[in-house]
Protein backbone atom coordinates (compact mmCIF):
# COMPACT_ATOMS: atom_id res chain seq x y z
CA UNK A 1 0.00 0.00 0.00
CA UNK A 2 1.27 3.46 -0.90
CA UNK A 3 1.11 6.53 1.30
CA UNK A 4 -0.74 9.52 -0.13
CA UNK A 5 -2.29 12.69 1.23
CA UNK A 6 -4.42 15.42 -0.33
CA UNK A 7 -4.71 19.10 0.51
CA UNK A 8 -6.07 22.23 -1.12
CA UNK A 9 -8.87 23.38 -3.41
CA UNK A 10 -9.01 23.48 -7.20
CA UNK A 11 -8.04 21.28 -10.15
CA UNK A 12 -6.39 17.99 -9.17
CA UNK A 13 -2.60 18.13 -9.20
CA UNK A 14 -0.55 15.02 -8.35
CA UNK A 15 3.12 15.26 -7.34
CA UNK A 16 5.53 12.36 -7.91
CA UNK A 17 8.96 12.70 -6.31
CA UNK A 18 12.26 11.18 -7.42
CA UNK A 19 14.60 8.40 -6.41
CA UNK A 20 15.56 8.11 -2.74
CA UNK A 21 13.30 10.90 -1.50
CA UNK A 22 9.68 11.18 -0.35
CA UNK A 23 6.74 13.51 -0.85
CA UNK A 24 7.86 15.87 1.93
CA UNK A 25 10.31 17.21 -0.61
CA UNK A 26 7.35 19.11 -2.09
CA UNK A 27 6.26 20.82 1.15
CA UNK A 28 7.28 24.33 0.02
CA UNK A 29 5.62 23.82 -3.37
CA UNK A 30 2.43 22.62 -1.70
CA UNK A 31 2.32 25.66 0.58
CA UNK A 32 2.61 27.91 -2.47
CA UNK A 33 -0.12 26.26 -4.53
CA UNK A 34 -2.65 24.67 -2.13
CA UNK A 35 -5.05 27.58 -2.67
CA UNK A 36 -4.98 27.04 -6.45
CA UNK A 37 -4.95 23.25 -6.72
CA UNK A 38 -6.23 20.19 -4.90
CA UNK A 39 -2.82 18.57 -4.43
CA UNK A 40 -2.20 14.86 -3.93
CA UNK A 41 1.30 13.83 -2.93
CA UNK A 42 2.34 10.20 -3.07
CA UNK A 43 5.36 8.38 -1.65
CA UNK A 44 6.75 6.09 -4.35
CA UNK A 45 6.88 2.34 -3.62
CA UNK A 46 9.34 1.58 -0.82
CA UNK A 47 9.97 5.31 -0.30
CA UNK A 48 8.82 7.46 2.60
CA UNK A 49 5.82 5.83 4.26
CA UNK A 50 4.93 3.49 1.38
CA UNK A 51 5.32 -0.28 1.31
CA UNK A 52 7.58 -2.03 -1.16
CA UNK A 53 6.04 -3.22 -4.42
CA UNK A 54 7.40 -6.20 -6.35
CA UNK A 55 8.36 -5.72 -10.00
CA UNK A 56 9.51 -2.70 -11.96
CA UNK A 57 8.19 0.25 -13.94
CA UNK A 58 4.73 -1.06 -14.77
CA UNK A 59 4.09 -2.56 -11.34
CA UNK A 60 5.10 0.69 -9.65
CA UNK A 61 2.88 2.71 -11.97
CA UNK A 62 -0.10 0.40 -11.51
CA UNK A 63 0.18 0.85 -7.74
CA UNK A 64 0.45 4.63 -8.06
CA UNK A 65 -2.63 4.74 -10.32
CA UNK A 66 -4.71 3.27 -7.47
CA UNK A 67 -4.10 6.52 -5.57
CA UNK A 68 -4.82 8.99 -8.37
CA UNK A 69 -7.90 11.21 -8.73
CA UNK A 70 -9.73 11.30 -12.07
CA UNK A 71 -8.06 13.12 -14.96
CA UNK A 72 -5.35 14.87 -12.89
CA UNK A 73 -2.52 17.18 -13.79
CA UNK A 74 0.49 14.91 -13.25
CA UNK A 75 3.78 16.51 -12.18
CA UNK A 76 6.80 14.24 -12.02
CA UNK A 77 10.27 15.22 -10.86
CA UNK A 78 13.27 13.17 -12.07
CA UNK A 79 12.35 9.48 -11.69
CA UNK A 80 8.82 10.67 -10.94
CA UNK A 81 8.68 12.19 -14.42
CA UNK A 82 9.60 8.89 -16.01
CA UNK A 83 6.82 7.23 -14.03
CA UNK A 84 4.41 10.01 -15.03
CA UNK A 85 5.12 9.47 -18.74
CA UNK A 86 4.36 5.77 -18.34
CA UNK A 87 1.22 6.42 -16.29
CA UNK A 88 -0.01 8.74 -19.04
CA UNK A 89 -0.03 5.76 -21.43
CA UNK A 90 -2.33 3.85 -19.06
CA UNK A 91 -4.97 6.34 -17.86
CA UNK A 92 -6.44 9.69 -18.85
CA UNK A 93 -4.64 12.73 -17.47
CA UNK A 94 -5.31 16.37 -18.28
CA UNK A 95 -1.71 17.59 -18.38
CA UNK A 96 1.84 16.30 -17.92
CA UNK A 97 4.50 18.44 -16.22
CA UNK A 98 8.04 17.06 -16.30
CA UNK A 99 10.50 18.67 -13.89
CA UNK A 100 14.18 17.85 -14.49
CA UNK A 101 13.07 14.70 -16.27
CA UNK A 102 13.28 12.91 -19.58
CA UNK A 103 11.77 9.89 -21.36
CA UNK A 104 15.19 8.21 -21.25
CA UNK A 105 17.82 8.89 -18.59
CA UNK A 106 20.78 6.97 -20.02
CA UNK A 107 22.83 7.91 -23.09
CA UNK A 108 22.91 5.78 -26.20
CA UNK A 109 24.22 6.23 -29.75
CA UNK A 110 20.97 7.84 -30.84
CA UNK A 111 20.24 9.61 -27.56
CA UNK A 112 22.95 12.08 -26.39
CA UNK A 113 20.76 13.74 -23.75
CA UNK A 114 21.34 11.31 -20.89
CA UNK A 115 23.82 10.12 -18.28
CA UNK A 116 26.75 7.93 -19.28
CA UNK A 117 25.67 4.37 -18.54
CA UNK A 118 29.05 3.31 -17.12
CA UNK A 119 29.03 6.19 -14.65
CA UNK A 120 25.49 5.34 -13.66
CA UNK A 121 26.32 1.67 -13.15
CA UNK A 122 29.38 2.54 -11.05
CA UNK A 123 27.10 4.61 -8.88
CA UNK A 124 24.66 1.72 -8.66
CA UNK A 125 27.44 -0.71 -7.69
CA UNK A 126 28.74 1.71 -5.03
CA UNK A 127 25.23 1.96 -3.66
CA UNK A 128 25.08 -1.80 -3.16
CA UNK A 129 28.25 -1.61 -1.06
CA UNK A 130 27.42 1.43 1.05
CA UNK A 131 23.87 2.73 1.00
CA UNK A 132 24.55 5.83 3.09
CA UNK A 133 27.54 6.87 0.99
CA UNK A 134 25.61 6.28 -2.23
CA UNK A 135 22.70 8.41 -1.05
CA UNK A 136 25.00 11.24 -0.03
CA UNK A 137 26.67 11.19 -3.42
CA UNK A 138 23.29 11.30 -5.12
CA UNK A 139 22.15 14.21 -2.95
CA UNK A 140 25.37 16.10 -3.69
CA UNK A 141 24.42 15.97 -7.38
CA UNK A 142 21.12 17.67 -6.68
CA UNK A 143 22.18 21.09 -5.49
CA UNK A 144 25.11 23.28 -4.54
CA UNK A 145 22.88 25.19 -2.09
CA UNK A 146 23.90 24.22 1.46
CA UNK A 147 20.47 24.99 2.94
CA UNK A 148 18.76 22.86 0.30
CA UNK A 149 21.30 20.09 0.86
CA UNK A 150 20.56 20.11 4.58
CA UNK A 151 16.79 19.95 3.96
CA UNK A 152 17.19 17.08 1.50
CA UNK A 153 19.30 15.07 3.93
CA UNK A 154 16.78 15.67 6.72
CA UNK A 155 13.98 14.46 4.44
CA UNK A 156 15.87 11.26 3.63
CA UNK A 157 16.78 10.66 7.29
CA UNK A 158 13.19 11.12 8.42
CA UNK A 159 11.70 8.56 6.00
CA UNK A 160 14.51 6.50 4.43
CA UNK A 161 13.72 4.49 1.33
CA UNK A 162 14.14 0.72 1.45
CA UNK A 163 17.19 -0.88 -0.16
CA UNK A 164 14.86 -2.90 -2.39
CA UNK A 165 13.09 0.22 -3.66
CA UNK A 166 16.35 2.10 -4.24
CA UNK A 167 17.67 -0.78 -6.35
CA UNK A 168 14.38 -1.05 -8.25
CA UNK A 169 14.39 2.69 -8.89
CA UNK A 170 17.94 2.62 -10.21
CA UNK A 171 17.04 -0.24 -12.54
CA UNK A 172 14.05 1.73 -13.85
CA UNK A 173 16.30 4.75 -14.48
CA UNK A 174 18.94 2.61 -16.19
CA UNK A 175 16.71 0.58 -18.48
CA UNK A 176 13.58 2.56 -19.29
CA UNK A 177 13.17 4.07 -22.76
CA UNK A 178 9.85 5.85 -23.28
CA UNK A 179 10.87 7.96 -26.28
CA UNK A 180 8.33 6.35 -28.62
CA UNK A 181 5.53 6.65 -26.05
CA UNK A 182 6.42 10.28 -25.38
CA UNK A 183 6.59 11.18 -29.07
CA UNK A 184 3.19 9.59 -29.70
CA UNK A 185 1.49 11.32 -26.77
CA UNK A 186 -1.21 13.92 -27.47
CA UNK A 187 -1.37 15.07 -23.84
CA UNK A 188 -0.58 18.77 -23.16
CA UNK A 189 2.95 18.72 -21.75
CA UNK A 190 5.29 21.22 -20.13
CA UNK A 191 8.93 20.73 -19.17
CA UNK A 192 10.96 22.64 -16.57
CA UNK A 193 14.73 22.13 -16.52
CA UNK A 194 17.78 23.46 -14.65
CA UNK A 195 20.75 24.78 -16.59
CA UNK A 196 23.19 23.42 -13.96
CA UNK A 197 21.60 19.97 -13.80
CA UNK A 198 24.23 17.21 -13.77
CA UNK A 199 21.67 14.41 -14.26
CA UNK A 200 19.36 15.77 -16.98
CA UNK A 201 21.50 17.97 -19.27
CA UNK A 202 19.64 21.18 -20.07
CA UNK A 203 20.61 20.85 -23.75
CA UNK A 204 17.71 18.39 -23.93
CA UNK A 205 15.65 21.58 -24.14
CA UNK A 206 16.62 21.65 -27.84
CA UNK A 207 15.01 18.24 -28.32
CA UNK A 208 11.88 19.28 -26.41
CA UNK A 209 11.68 22.47 -28.48
CA UNK A 210 11.83 20.50 -31.73
CA UNK A 211 9.04 18.30 -30.39
CA UNK A 212 7.05 21.53 -29.81
CA UNK A 213 6.95 20.97 -26.05
CA UNK A 214 6.70 24.11 -23.93
CA UNK A 215 10.03 24.21 -22.09
CA UNK A 216 11.40 26.49 -19.40
CA UNK A 217 15.04 26.49 -18.24
CA UNK A 218 15.79 27.96 -14.81
CA UNK A 219 19.14 28.98 -13.37
CA UNK A 220 19.34 26.01 -11.03
CA UNK A 221 20.36 22.35 -10.72
CA UNK A 222 18.28 19.16 -10.50
CA UNK A 223 15.68 20.73 -8.19
CA UNK A 224 13.94 23.43 -10.27
CA UNK A 225 10.80 23.37 -8.11
CA UNK A 226 12.79 24.89 -5.22
CA UNK A 227 13.87 27.85 -7.37
CA UNK A 228 12.18 31.21 -6.70
CA UNK A 229 11.18 31.54 -10.37
CA UNK A 230 9.50 28.14 -10.58
CA UNK A 231 5.86 28.58 -11.59
CA UNK A 232 3.07 26.17 -12.49
Question: The CATH number of the domain where 181 resides is what?
Answer: 3.40.50.1820
Distance of CA 194 to the CA centre of its chain: 14
Active site residue 17: no
Q: Of residues 4, 43, 185, 222, which has the active-site annotation?
A: 222
Predicted confidence (pLDDT) at residue 120 exceeds the cutoff of 90: no
Instruction: Report the pLDDT averaged over residues 9-21.
Output: 95
Domain extent for 82: 4-226
Active site residue 222: yes
Q: Is residue 138 part of a domain?
A: yes
Q: Of residues 23, 101, 155, 197, which has the active-site annotation?
A: 197
Q: Of residues 78, 101, 155, 185, which has the active-site annotation?
A: 78
Q: Is residue 92 part of a domain?
A: yes
Report the number of distinct structural domains present in the chain. Answer: 1
Q: Which of 63, 65, 66 is nearest to 55 (CA)?
A: 63
Q: Is residue 49 part of a domain?
A: yes
pLDDT reported for residue 41: 97
Q: Which of 67, 65, 64 is nearest to 91 (CA)?
A: 65
The H-or-E segment that residue 77 falls in is strand 73-77
pLDDT reported for residue 128: 65
pTM for the model stands at: 0.92
Give dist(CA 185, CA 54) in Å, integer. Answer: 28
Coil, helix or strand at residue 35: coil
Active site residue 197: yes
Q: Is residue 232 part of a domain?
A: no
Give dist(CA 21, CA 70) in Å, integer. Answer: 25
Amino acid sequence: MLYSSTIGIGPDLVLLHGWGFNSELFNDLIDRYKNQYRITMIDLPGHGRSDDVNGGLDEWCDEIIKNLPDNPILLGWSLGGLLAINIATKIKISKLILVASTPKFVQSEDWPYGIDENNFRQFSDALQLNLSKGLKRFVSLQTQDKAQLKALNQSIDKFPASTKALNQGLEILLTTDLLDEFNQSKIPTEVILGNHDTLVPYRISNWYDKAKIKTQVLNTGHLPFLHKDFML
